[in-house]
Chains A and B, each alone.
Chain A
Amino acid sequence: MIELEGLTKRYGDKLAVDHLTCTVRPGIVTGFLGPNGAGKSTTMRMMLDLDNPTSGTVRIDGRHYRELHDPLRTVGALLDAKAIHGGRSAYNHLLCLAQSNGIPPARVREVLDTVGLTSVARKRAKGFSLGMGQRLGIAAALLGDPRILMFDEPVNGLDPEGIHWIRTLMKGLAAQGRTVFVSSHLMSEMALTAEHLIVIGQGRLLADTSMADFIARNSRSFVRMRSPEQERLRDVLSGAGIAAAPGPDGGLDVTGEDAAHLGELAARHGITLHELSPQRASLEEAFMRLTAESVEYHARAGDGAEPPAGAPDTPDAGRPAWGTDWRGDRRGKES
């Protein structure tokens, strides 16, 4: 569980993150969505105590990141896949991280195997492709078998197979009861993986809602009608008490009526139709509408944030099978 409270970061007179308050719950994938420059990476850096907040706090399972003992065993993060020394081999990169948190070296081989980099483990990271670098970053995040995982734009640079792999991995990690927090600027990507959404724009919270709610609320469906007798069609519709909004390129958009009913209505009045098509605004459009509004909210300085939707039940899944053996080993050694 990650709790942000009034988290604020100011660079000069620009607010990068503006009083962000939200909670990231375990057991589900939480998508952290916002356009480029919305403050996602800054927020994630503050979560890891890399950047100091101007005000506000981040609590990881109730504690400040700095107070965590061997933090990689609690939080695994992929912030920037390029953030590695290119002259070091993949194995040594992971080994130095493991050693700093008392993680046994055997675990390094395990995660290299998980991400499929075993064959290039001794190669210097300099020669890695973007996708391989991303996999190495993910291996580093998994190293401590943490309860909380944070990924900043994890699908960047991955091929379709890699994208599928990371989606499956994230869902699997969440199903094991872990907290999975993933940022993206692509709504379509989030729609496939995230169960919960936190949307920010210009550093402000715009939505904190379950994905199902977001889809229900935002994927507006309507029927697009086009006719050479546009004026008559409009009169007939208003005569029937149906509101029609002018759509793009001279069409009419009708919300709340089904296409069959509208077609019959037009036929009854002998109106020729050139188009009668049910439309569904994509989530991407809904997301763009939401974030575009953030500019206005900002200017008005009003309370632009939508009220958080009811929290979905978080399945309290049993502890993972994943990495349990070496954890057990260690516990044995410590006691």
Chain B
Amino acid sequence: MAVTAQVLRSEWTKTKSVRSTVWTLGTGVVVTVALGALISALAKNDYENLSPKDRFAFDPTFISFAGMGLGQLALIVFGVLVVANEYSTGMIRTSLAAVPQRGVFLFCKIAIATALALVVGMITSFLTFFVGQAMLGDRGADLGDPGVLRAVVGGGLYMALITMFSMGVAAMLRSPMLSLGVLMPFFFLISSILANVSATKKVGEYLPDKAGQKVMQVVLVDDDAPYGPWGGFAIMVLWVAASLVGGYVVLKKRDA
């Protein structure tokens, strides 16, 4: 459709013409890869001290993704800024006057930012895998090993999905500070706490990040999660869908 193509082009111009795009995505790549490399190096040195049981559960692929927990925060910031900066700057009124079809507007914005996050996510995921495996040396995994390619591709998809989730939340909350204030502590702290306290472990497993990260695991010994890698991924997709529907409804109903 002609309108959609025009709006996609417009949103691409918007996204690439602000510095925050380069800064947030660049930080995401650097943090994920650097932290992944560091932890992989530490894991290699620590391998000798592991018990046989732990050696059996040693997952070199997942270890190389250790930086993603921190790196994803940069993608969250990217997703939040893409949407919520429209509100904080007042640009939303100019944008919606140009594109009064709010569904088209939001869909195109999310499509562009997601495509960008997916490209950057894939690069990050492959880069962090290869750098991590290089650090792990002979303890490392190979891309051809069973499940490894799925985990690495899954890592890129995970980054795109976490960005989409943030955009949905930002469309609902309509403020960058509020959105970051909710998302940052949630993904950095609350989600980890819920997943590691035995009483709330069951709930924690169904949170978007914990469920979604399952796709990056290759070695699944004494894993009691009620879902597999793609099952966890599907749970995350549901979270993303819910947040986008919520964002769409808010945009549709409320005054700009």
Within 8 A of B (CB), among A72-117: 72, 75, 77, 79-80, 82-89, 92, 95-97, 99-102
**Majority SS of interface residues in chain B?**
helix
Residue interface bits B245-256, CB-to-A below 8 A is 1, else 0: 000000000011
- Of the listed stretches B1-9, B128-136, B229-237, chain A binds B1-9
Chain B residues near A100 (CB-CB < 8 A): 6-7, 9-10, 95, 98-99
B98 near A97: Cβ-Cβ < 8 Å: yes
Residue interface bits A57-76, CB-to-B below 8 A is 1, else 0: 00000000110101110010
B202 at the interface (CB under 8 A from A): no
B98 near A72: Cβ-Cβ < 8 Å: yes
B256 near A96: Cβ-Cβ < 8 Å: no
A48 at the interface (CB under 8 A from B): yes
Residue interface bits A171-212, CB-to-B below 8 A is 1, else 0: 000000000000000000000000000000000000000000
B97 at the interface (CB under 8 A from A): yes
A84 near B94: Cβ-Cβ < 8 Å: yes
- Give Cα A102–Cα B94 distance, bound, in whole angstroms: 16
A92 near B17: Cβ-Cβ < 8 Å: yes
Chain B residues near A159 (CB-CB < 8 A): none
Count of chain A residues with a beta carbon within 8 Å of a chain B beta carbon? 33
B19 near A101: Cβ-Cβ < 8 Å: no
Q: Given the interface contacts A65-B100, A99-B13, does A140 sit within 8 Å of B94 by beta carbon?
A: yes
Chain B residues near A101 (CB-CB < 8 A): 6, 98
B55 at the interface (CB under 8 A from A): no
Chain B residues near A77 (CB-CB < 8 A): 97
Nearest-neighbour CB distance to chain B for A234, whole angstroms, equals 58
Nearest-neighbour CB distance to chain B for A50, whole angstroms, equals 4
A258 at the interface (CB under 8 A from B): no
Chain B residues near A50 (CB-CB < 8 A): 93, 96-97, 255-256
A97 near B101: Cβ-Cβ < 8 Å: no
B104's closest neighbor in chain A, by CB? A100
B98 near A83: Cβ-Cβ < 8 Å: no
B20 at the interface (CB under 8 A from A): yes
A87 near B19: Cβ-Cβ < 8 Å: yes
Q: Given the interface contacts A50-B255, A65-B100, A85-B85, does A97 sit within 8 Å of B94 by beta carbon?
A: yes
Within 8 A of B (CB), among A265-303: none
**Majority SS of interface residues in chain A?**
loop
**Listed residue (A71, A86, A92, A99) with the most chain B CB atoms within 10 angstroms of its CB:** A99
A84 near B90: Cβ-Cβ < 8 Å: yes
B97 near A48: Cβ-Cβ < 8 Å: yes
Chain A residues near B86 (CB-CB < 8 A): 85
Within 8 A of A (CB), among B46-102: 85-86, 89-101
A51 at the interface (CB under 8 A from B): yes
Chain A residues near B189 (CB-CB < 8 A): none
A72 near B97: Cβ-Cβ < 8 Å: yes
A83 near B10: Cβ-Cβ < 8 Å: no
Q: Which of B2, B6, B255 is within 8 Å of A52, CB to CB?
A: B255
Chain B residues near A257 (CB-CB < 8 A): none
B90 near A96: Cβ-Cβ < 8 Å: no
B18 at the interface (CB under 8 A from A): yes
Q: Given the interface contacts A101-B6, A101-B98, does A79 sit within 8 Å of B93 by beta carbon?
A: yes
B253's closest neighbor in chain A, by CB? A52
A123 at the interface (CB under 8 A from B): no
Q: Given the interface contacts A50-B96, A66-B101, A99-B6, does A83 sit within 8 Å of B90 by beta carbon?
A: yes
A229 at the interface (CB under 8 A from B): no
- Give Cα A65–Cα B256 distance, bound, in whole angstroms: 15
- Give Cα A137–Cα B184 distance, bound, in whole angstroms: 35
- Give Cα A171–Cα B131 distance, bound, in whole angstroms: 65
Q: Which of B3, B17, B96 is within 8 Å of A96, CB to CB?
A: B17
- Give Cα A85–Cα B20 distance, bound, in whole angstroms: 12
Chain A residues near B100 (CB-CB < 8 A): 48-49, 65-66, 68, 71
- Give Cα A75–Cα B94 distance, bound, in whole angstroms: 12
Q: List 27 A-B contacts (CB under 8 A).
A: A45-B255, A48-B93, A48-B96, A49-B96, A65-B100, A66-B101, A70-B6, A71-B98, A79-B93, A79-B97, A80-B90, A83-B93, A85-B14, A85-B18, A86-B89, A87-B20, A88-B14, A88-B17, A88-B18, A95-B13, A96-B14, A99-B6, A99-B9, A99-B13, A100-B10, A102-B2, A140-B94
User: Which 4 A-B pairs rank lowest in CB-CB distance, beginning with the nearest?
Assistant: A83-B90, A100-B10, A92-B17, A51-B255
Chain A interface (Cβ within 8 Å of chain B)? 45, 48-52, 65-66, 68, 70-72, 75, 77, 79-80, 82-89, 92, 95-97, 99-102, 140
Chain B interface (Cβ within 8 Å of chain A)? 2-3, 6-7, 9-11, 13-14, 17-20, 85-86, 89-101, 255-256
